[in-house]
């Protein structure tokens, strides 16, 4: 009970994982978002034509399947894909930031600003001042999924509590990052380890670059503190 109370009142970061992100975008939602954000009708129609009537095939053991229609998702490999996807995710960011219930984390510098949401292509993150706000945040995420087709996977999402005194394994059905674990975020292994370990790893990597002993081997990236 004490652990739960500690968690409820602690600051938390939610790393969202969307199921098959690019492949599940509802295209009508994308076209509507483009229009609402001020893109011209001509541009929206161009994007619509690029994504209408497309087909795909599977290649399995050297044999190609019959073509089938693609009815959702942004075309993988298209140069526009990493530009169009954030437009859809921006709808979630707006909903999170406009919620009167959710309060983000203070921005360093004493300006009084709060940071609630970040999105880098398909890596979306919610920052909350108290974990008791998580239920409301998840409701917004769920509603966004029903509109956009981007459904968050609680089993693959991750919570990071900034209070190291939190000792729960899960919270609101989402796994909590433990002190001995790491999670990949924006290409880095994020953890709650002590800063001295982060600095030690950083110095080792920089030293290897300086000596020329690292030749493109990034199989063991530095672990970063998220706290």
Contacts of 61 (CB under 8 A, 6+ apart): none
Q: Which of 56-60, 95-99, 204-208 has the lowest mean pLDDT?
A: 204-208
Residues of the chain above pLDDT 90, percent: 35
pTM over 0.85: no
Domain containing 195 equals 179-227
> What's the confidence (pLDDT) of residue 53?
82
Give the span between the Cα atoms of 99 and 138, in whole angstroms.
12
> What's the confidence (pLDDT) of residue 54?
80
Contacts of 64 (CB under 8 A, 6+ apart): 57, 58
Q: Judge if 139 and 195 occupy the same domain.
A: no
> What's the confidence (pLDDT) of residue 108?
78
Q: Judge if 188 and 106 occupy the same domain.
A: no
Task: Express each pLDDT in 157-216 by its tens digit.
Answer: 999 988 877 888 889 889 998 887 888 777 777 777 654 455 555 566 666 666 665 554
Compute CA distances 193 → 180, 197, 214, whole Å.
Answer: 8, 7, 24
How many domains are there within the chain? 2
- Helices then strands, counting H and E runs in the chain, come out as 7, 15
Q: What does the mean pLDDT of the chain come to?
A: 82
Q: What CATH number is associated with residue 106?
A: 3.30.70
Q: Which tokens sit at 186?
A: 């924006």
Domain boundary, last residue among 143, 161, 178? 178
Query: By the 8 A CB rule, do 37 and 87 touch?
Result: yes
Q: Which tokens sit at 1?
A: 């009970």
């Amino acid at each position: 009970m004490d652990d739960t109370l500690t968690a409820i009142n602690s600051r938390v970061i939610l790393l969202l994982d969307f199921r098959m992100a690019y492949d599940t975008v509802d295209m009508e939602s994308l076209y509507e978002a483009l229009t609402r954000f001020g893109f011209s009708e001509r541009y929206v129609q161009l994007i619509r034509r690029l994504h209408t009537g497309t087909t795909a095939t599977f290649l399995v053991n050297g044999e190609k399947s019959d073509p089938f229609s693609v009815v959702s998702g942004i075309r993988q490999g298209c140069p526009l894909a990493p530009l169009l996807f954030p437009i859809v995710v921006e709808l979630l960011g707006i909903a999170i930031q406009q919620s009167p219930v959710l309060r983000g984390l203070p921005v360093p510098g004493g300006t009084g600003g709060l940071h609630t949401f970040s999105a880098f292509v398909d890596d979306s993150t919610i920052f909350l001042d108290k974990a008791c706000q998580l239920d409301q945040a998840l409701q917004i995420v769920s509603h966004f999924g029903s509109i956009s087709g981007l459904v968050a996977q609680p089993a693959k999402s991750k919570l990071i509590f900034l209070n190291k005194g939190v000792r729960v394994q899960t919270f609101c059905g989402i796994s909590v990052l433990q002190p001995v674990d790491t999670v990949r975020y924006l290409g880095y292994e994020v953890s709650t380890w002590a800063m001295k370990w982060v600095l030690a790893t950083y110095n080792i990597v920089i030293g290897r670059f300086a000596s020329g002993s690292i030749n493109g081997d990034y199989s063991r990236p530095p672990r970063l503190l998220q706290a």
